[in-house]
Structure 1
Amino acid sequence: MLKIVLEVDGEEDFLYEVKRMLEFAGLSVTRETSEYGGAFDA
């Protein structure tokens, strides 16, 4: 399993773009959110 963790401050658009790119690459993406950023499990 590939886990990509992004820690950003208020960059929801960037997180959405990363999720979209991973899905385009054929990966199933789930989203976890914390006060520190987002994590995508692929």
Structure 2
Amino acid sequence: MKKNKKHLTREPRYQIDALLQAKKSQKEIADIIGKDKSVIRRET
């Protein structure tokens, strides 16, 4: 059975980008936006 993978919308992607520019770690970003750190890793 396949899992439904949902893509991130623009807003969380912009938020991830801003937080990366602010030198936040992937774990910190994941905690802030409420996603798993693997999601952040895939987006970077």
User: Which one has the bigger strand percentage?
Assistant: 1
Give me the TM-score of the superposition, normalised by structure 2.
Answer: 0.42
Larger Rg: 2
User: Which one has the bigger helix percentage?
Assistant: 2
Give me the TM-score of the superposition, normalised by structure 1.
Answer: 0.43
